[in-house]
Structures are given as structure tokens and as C-alpha cells.
Chain A
Amino acid sequence: MRHLLGIEGWRREEIETLLDRAEAHLPRGSANASVLQGKVVANLFFEDSTRTRTSFEMAAKMLGAQVLNWTAAGSSVSKGETLLDTVRNIEATGPVALVIRHRSSGAPHLVAKHVRCAVINAGDGTHEHPSQALLDAFTLRKHWGKLDGRTVLIVGDILHSRVARSNILCLTALGARVVACGPPTLLPVGLKELGAEVTTNLDAALPQADAVMCLRLQLERQSESFFPSTREFSRLFGLNVARSEKMKSGALVMHPGPINRGVELAPAVADGARSVILEQVANGVAVRRAILEVCS
């Protein structure tokens, strides 16, 4: 048993081993369909999610596990129960793994210090989303064979993005060059220390990229004045059709979903030939099966 709290702390070989294992789960259901037979995986979602929750649920069931789906709404959390009390109570019912989504960065780390079963971070605050980064790396590896020497451009709200942090760590660990691009207000200090290059000029960066990963823009950031309007954001940092034509031939378009269509990504690009967005979702199940196998 081990935890998956973040990509931080995982070595290249470990990531590659996990991705290899995920390969064995494609096509669907081909490997170890009963490895979690008779066991329970608890999905603890303190924050809303569709993709990640259903993907983990599907992965667990395909490994033969029962799934406890718990959400904060309507739970004792609304009565003021602490995070640790909540998870300790759920742990006492006997799951082999806790899959945790929480709005506070570091919440799974706190939990992992106080429970004995495996803790899998399904997205914590603005910190990490390791399973998303692994499925992104998996998707790129399927297209490219290996990531060494490739450039991935991550565009948008880097400051608040756990997807960006995990991807910077994961993709650079696998040998890719990662460039983070967005308005200065949404680029945190210290991205270089994480391993990314930084630019505010999307048009200049775009032709160098082998893949462009657009991030979901949280629209309420406009009211916090991180940028003047979604219209202006879209003009400067949205991947529209004209911009997508500046991309290298064969370059890929990615998005962790859900998409604000027409804001960070034009519908025609999201659904276009370069887009691997639905492949990402499909690969997510295989990657999460591998994660559950390794961690449970």
C-alpha cells in the first residue's frame, strides 16, 4: 500500500511503471479484473466533480471493488464535523483506499498522516491533481511514444490550477519541456522552481508547442480582477480557430474539462481534429485502475 498525494515525490521510473501498468488496462477490462474483489474503495468528495469521481468509480468497479460514494453535501460536515473525524469514521467501516477531493490544498496530506488505508488525491485545492496529470502523460505517450524533447504549452489560470502544477511536475519528470502561459496576474511566482518556463505571449509560444493544454477558466476570477473581462481573456489567451492554425502540424489540443466553450477554447478547436480531449477521459479510467492497483 502507498499513497498518491501528488506527483511530487514520484520518480520517473515509478511514473513510467504506473503508465506501463495502465497500458495493460487498455483495451478495457483486459488486466486483473478481480484484483480488488471483495474490497471497498471510498470516494470522498468534499467538492463537486463529475469526471474524476465517475472515472475513479468506474476504475474501482472494473477491478472488482465495491464503491462507497460519499459527498460532503448532506453529511456531518455540514454539522461542523472536522475533516479528520469524518475520514476516521469512514475509515472505520473498512475501505482499502480513500479517494479524496477537497477544496483545501493539503487536505489529503493531513488525512494520510492519520489513517492507515491508502489515500489517493483526486484534487486538492490549488495544489495537485495527480491522476489527471498521469492520464495526460499517458495520453501524450500514446501519441508520441515518449515525451523527451517535446514541448507542452499550458495556457490560462496557472495560479489556481492543480492540473497545471501536477502536469508541470509529471511532464518534466518524463523529459518534456513545459511552458506556462497566461496573464501575469495568473502566473504564480516560483514556476521555474517547479520546472516550467514562463511566458505571457501565447502567439509567440504556440508555434513551438507539440501539445497545448488549455485550462478551465473559473469565471468568478473576473470579479476578483485577475483579468478585466472574459472577453479580453479570450482575445489574449483563448485558443480560437485562427490561433490553432499557428500550431505545428500534428500538435495536440488538450483540456482537463469541463470546458467553457468559447472562452479558453473555441468549440471548433475543442471538437476538431487536433483535439484529444475525449481520449483523455477514456484513458483516465485505465490510469486510475493502475493507480488503485498500485495503492490498494
Chain B
Amino acid sequence: MSAPILFSRGRVIDPRSQVDGVRDVLLRDGKVAEISEAPLQVPGAQVVDARGRWVLPGFIDLHVHLREPGEEGKETILTGSRSAVAGGFTAVVAMPNTKIVNDSALVTELVLSRARAANLCHVYPAGAITKGLKGEELAEMGELISAGCVCITDDGRPVMSASLMRRALQYSTLFDIPVMVHEEDLTLSGKGAMTEGPTATRLGLAPIPSSAEIVMVARDLVLLEETGGRLHIAHISCEGSVRLVREAKKRGLKVTAEATPHHFTLDDTAVGSYDTHAKMNPPLRLRRDVEALREALADGTIDAIATDHAPHGILDKQVEFEKGINGVVGLETALGLTLALVHDGVLSPLKAVELLTDGPARAFGLPGGHLGAGAPADVTLVDPEVEWAVDAERFFSKSRNTPFNGRLLKGRVTQTWVSGRLVFSDGQIKESR
């Protein structure tokens, strides 16, 4: 049995218990044993001097693309796990739109076995809603859940058939798992390449109206109300969608939502002169949408910050804008971009941490996300004062596609502990295989 670990005199921020102050945190046998206001003396403990650091529950990312199986040139479960722990994430939910779609227990088991081999962070697979993500027939939800999937989603694509979506929600009530949705009416988004607005008009790029997202949010909230189930809206991006979710929550519907750091940081002008690094789906929206997301993060309408970590190779981006593949890597910049909201006075430190920890844990019913006694010993240490410039060349992810290269951020992960084991420290991955 390994020695207890004592984080001494750090600023502990644990949203679930509403703690924000200097505390000692003791980990024992892979669990949180105690949080103490008074200094603890634990014979034989490995002491981590956390003075000047924030001691936080390990971050949970509900939305990452690890690309394995099928596109290992962009990312693997191992490299994605490295990227995750370097960003302070101790758990990630892996999307099923791999090149062999995760619509069967076989693929779920493969993902889990590769994650065990990587042995860095918790990887929770998400299963597909429909076979092959084709939007035609339901995948075997029961089998996927038994094999270890924590939610189902056709992420990357909407379920265009309202009737099929209705049945997915109805059927999901058997398992009490969230149905995660990519909200996009494809007849409205069409061949659009960026959000509708003055920038799209100036650049002559086919526009995607906000309504492409909003009408699907509206549809799915209607279906949710009728069927029951749990709806989780992925990468919410528009003012109108936020308003619908806020109202639905007030009426008691079981709906949760996540926002990405790129959507709450950048607006459509980031496309600049056809920068494909700013091409994503949903597209970067207008300034008023960014403001609406920030407000919704602060008031609890949005439950979680998720990265939609989407690794791509250089050839996917060094092309004509409309041909550019959507997506941005996000695991290693998420904390800094979230803390920017704290520096801007949008979020309190407690709220910011909640959106990375307790919020996502509750949305999906995952273990962790807090530092209460008995919680998994997943801990992230942050130096809140250090300023650093994003350097994509130094990412642990296999891919470099980010619109934030060169951006100055304040606050950085210094250590990541998973199940009581140090997996990342001062820029180094601590692998044990």
C-alpha cells in the first residue's frame, strides 16, 4: 500500500462543499481521506507543499476526441491522455465518432483497454446514439452502457430525424444516462463555413445562421419534456440556445449544457483572413453570443466547460477555408482560458472550478469532481499567478491545431494526481507502464 499524500497549506477550492480557503488535503488508498482547516500531521505521509497553489478536484472533460481507433496519426488514447493530464484533467469522455464508430461493446472495450494501458487519466467512452452515426437506427444502448459507456451521442452530427431522437430519449430512460446532442439543423447550416454575420459577408464565406443550432435545441427540449430522459447539449454556442436552456431548467427539465473555451473566448472575427484554425462546428459566433455564454456560465445555465478537443493534422488545416476540417485541440489551454474569465471578473474562482469539476461530474453522474471524504484521489494543483504563452509546438497532444498559439495566459497546472498517483508534474508526464 502506498504512503498517504498530504497537500499542505494550499488554497483548496472544492465547489461541492463550498470550500475556498487554506486547508490541508489528505489522500489515502486512492481516495480523499480528509480536508482539514488545521494543519495535519500524518506520520509517513508524502507531503506536497502547496503553499501559493490552488488545490482542486481533478478536472473532468465531458467532450474529447481521442481519434483512436482509426486516426491514430492525429491522436491516440495515450497521447490524448498525456494532453489531458498536462491540462489538469483527470477524466475525459471520449466521443464515439472514431473511424470505427463506437456503436458496439467491442469498440468500447478496445477504448477502455487502451486507456488502461495508457494508465494516465480516467477515460469514459461515449457510445453512439445510432448505428454508424448514420441517424437511421438506434445503436444497442444497453450493450454500450454495460460495456462501460457513460452517455450516448452522435457528436459531430445531429440526429436529424425528430422521431428517432424522440425514441432515443424514451429508450434512454431505461438506463438513466444522458443523451448528448450536437445541435445542428443541417438544412439550415447547409454548406456554410462560418457563422452568419458581417465577417462572413466581408470574407464571402457561406453563412451558418444561429437558427441552425437554436431550432434543434428547441426541438429537443420539446421532445425531452414529452419523453423524460436526460438531455446534454454539447458545445452550446448561441444566445438563443442559452435562453431556451435557461427557461427549460426553470421548468425543471433534466437538461444540462456545456460550453467550450473557444466559444466563450473568441468571436467570429477570429477567422481574420481565412484562418482555418478558427474553423469549428459550431462556428465561432458573434460577440453578443460570446457575452451570453459568459453570462450563462456565471448564472448556472451552463453546467460544464468542455473542450471538444479535436485534433487534426496540418494538411486538414492548410487548405481553402471551406475545405478546412472543423476543430481545435483544447485540453492544454482550457484552464488558462477559463481563468481569463476569473481575471475578467466574469466568474469567481469557486464558480470557474465548479465548471471544470463538480459541474461536469454531476451532469454525467461521474465519480470525482470534488474533494469530499471518499471521493477519488484525483487532484489538480494550479499556480494561479504564472503567466505563460501558448506554444502549440510544445503540446503533449499529437496535433497542433489551435487558434490560441502565442496567446498569453495566466494560471497553469503544475501537478495532476490520478487515483492518488502523480501523473504530471512541472511540465513532465509521469508514466508508469
Evaluate contact between A189 and B274: CB separation under 8 angstroms.
no
Evaluate contact between A194 and B320: CB separation under 8 angstroms.
no
Say yes or no for B197: interface residue by CB 8 A criterion: yes
Q: Mark A12-26, 1 if CB is under 8 A from B, else 0.
A: 000000000000000
Evaluate contact between B274 and A106: CB separation under 8 angstroms.
yes
Q: Mark A103-133, 1 if CB is under 8 A from B, else 0.
A: 0111101100000000000001111100000
Evaluate contact between A190 and B315: CB separation under 8 angstroms.
no
Evaluate contact between B200 and A104: CB separation under 8 angstroms.
no
Residues in A with CB closer than 8 Å to B41 are none
CB distance from B135 to the nearest CB of A (A): 23
Interface residue tally on B, bucketed by range: 20 to 34
Which of B196, B315, B322 is close to A105, meaning CB atoms less than 8 Å apart?
A: B322
Residues in A with CB closer than 8 Å to B196 are 188-189
Within 8 A of A (CB), among B191-213: 196-207
Residue of B nearest to A111 (CB): B320
Say yes or no for B99: interface residue by CB 8 A criterion: no
Evaluate contact between A128 and B198: CB separation under 8 angstroms.
no
CB distance from A258 to the nearest CB of B (A): 20
Q: Mark B17-55, 1 if CB is under 8 A from A, else 0.
A: 000000000000000000000000000000000000000
Residues in B with CB closer than 8 Å to A289 are none
Residue of B nearest to A112 (CB): B273
CB distance from A107 to the nearest CB of B (A): 5
Residues in B with CB closer than 8 Å to A190 are 197-202
Evaluate contact between B319 and A82: CB separation under 8 angstroms.
yes
Say yes or no for A191: interface residue by CB 8 A criterion: yes
Roughly how many angstroms separate A213 CA and B95 CA in the complex, as a whole number? 51
Roughly how many angstroms separate A124 CA and B322 CA in the complex, as a whole number? 12
Evaluate contact between B322 and A104: CB separation under 8 angstroms.
yes
Roughly how many angstroms separate A107 CA and B202 CA in the complex, as a whole number? 15
Say yes or no for A216: interface residue by CB 8 A criterion: no
Evaluate contact between B207 and A105: CB separation under 8 angstroms.
no
Evaluate contact between A191 and B201: CB separation under 8 angstroms.
yes
Evaluate contact between B315 and A82: CB separation under 8 angstroms.
yes
Tell me the dominant secondary structure on chain A's binding face. mixed
Residues in A with CB closer than 8 Å to B202 are 8, 165, 190, 193-194
Evaluate contact between B321 and A189: CB separation under 8 angstroms.
no
Say yes or no for A288: interface residue by CB 8 A criterion: no
CB distance from B184 to the nearest CB of A (A): 19
Residues in B with CB closer than 8 Å to A177 are none
Say yes or no for A101: interface residue by CB 8 A criterion: no
Roughly how many angstroms separate A104 CA and B207 CA in the complex, as a whole number? 14
CB distance from B188 to the nearest CB of A (A): 13
Query: Taking A104-B323, A106-B321 as contacts, is the C-beta distance between A165 and B204 under 8 angstroms?
Result: yes
Query: Taking A84-B318, A109-B274 as contacts, is the C-beta distance between A127 and B323 under 8 angstroms?
Result: no
Residue in A102, A105, A165 whose Cβ sees the most chain B Cβ within 10 Å = A105
Evaluate contact between A106 and B207: CB separation under 8 angstroms.
no
Evaluate contact between A105 and B203: CB separation under 8 angstroms.
yes
Evaluate contact between B320 and A106: CB separation under 8 angstroms.
yes
CB distance from B192 to the nearest CB of A (A): 12
Evaluate contact between B323 and A189: CB separation under 8 angstroms.
no
Evaluate contact between B321 and A105: CB separation under 8 angstroms.
yes
Query: Taking A106-B203, A106-B273, A126-B204 as contacts, is the C-beta distance between A194 and B318 under 8 angstroms?
Result: no
Say yes or no for A83: interface residue by CB 8 A criterion: yes
Q: Mark A180-216, 1 if CB is under 8 A from B, else 0.
A: 0000000011110110000000000000000000000
Roughly how many angstroms separate A177 CA and B143 CA in the complex, as a whole number? 66
Roughly how many angstroms separate A106 CA and B271 CA in the complex, as a whole number? 11
Residues in B with CB closer than 8 Å to A105 are 203-205, 274, 321-322
Evaluate contact between A188 and B274: CB separation under 8 angstroms.
no
Residues in B with CB closer than 8 Å to A84 are 318-319
Which of B198, B204, B207, B322 is close to A193, meaning CB atoms less than 8 Å apart?
A: B198
Say yes or no for A255: interface residue by CB 8 A criterion: no
Say yes or no for A150: interface residue by CB 8 A criterion: no
Within 8 A of A (CB), among B302-324: 315, 318-323
Residues in A with CB closer than 8 Å to B320 are 83, 102, 104, 106-107, 110
Query: Taking A84-B318, A110-B319 as contacts, is the C-beta distance between A189 and B201 under 8 angstroms?
Result: yes
Residues in B with CB closer than 8 Å to A106 are 203-205, 273-274, 320-321
Evaluate contact between B199 and A162: CB separation under 8 angstroms.
no
Roughly how many angstroms separate A84 CA and B318 CA in the complex, as a whole number? 8
Query: Taking A105-B274, A109-B274 as contacts, is the C-beta distance between A194 and B198 under 8 angstroms?
Result: yes
Residue of A nearest to B321 (CB): A106
Residue of A nearest to B204 (CB): A127
Roughly how many angstroms separate A194 CA and B201 CA in the complex, as a whole number? 8
Query: Taking A83-B320, A106-B274 as contacts, is the C-beta distance between A127 and B200 under 8 angstroms?
Result: no
Residue of B nearest to A46 (CB): B320
CB distance from B414 to the nearest CB of A (A): 37
Roughly how many angstroms separate A124 CA and B198 CA in the complex, as a whole number? 18
Residues in A with CB closer than 8 Å to B321 are 104-106, 110
Query: Taking A82-B315, A83-B320, A102-B320 as contacts, is the C-beta distance between A162 and B204 under 8 angstroms?
Result: yes
Q: Mark A155-191, 1 if CB is under 8 A from B, else 0.
A: 0000000100100000000000000000000001111
Evaluate contact between B197 and A128: CB separation under 8 angstroms.
no
CB distance from B186 to the nearest CB of A (A): 15
CB distance from B313 to the nearest CB of A (A): 13
Other than the given A82-B315, A105-B203, A125-B204, 19 more pairs (CB < 8 A) read: A104-B320, A104-B321, A105-B321, A106-B203, A106-B205, A106-B274, A106-B321, A109-B273, A109-B274, A124-B204, A125-B205, A126-B205, A188-B200, A189-B198, A190-B197, A190-B198, A190-B199, A193-B201, A193-B202
A-B contact pairs, 14 of them (CB 8 A): A83-B320, A84-B318, A104-B321, A106-B203, A106-B274, A106-B321, A109-B274, A110-B321, A126-B204, A126-B205, A165-B204, A188-B196, A189-B201, A190-B201
Q: Nearest 6 pairs between A and B by C-beta?
A: A127-B204, A190-B198, A106-B274, A104-B320, A190-B201, A126-B204
Residue numbers of B with Cβ under 8 A of A are 196-207, 273-274, 315, 318-323
Residue numbers of A with Cβ under 8 A of B are 8, 82-84, 102, 104-107, 109-110, 124-128, 162, 165, 188-191, 193-194
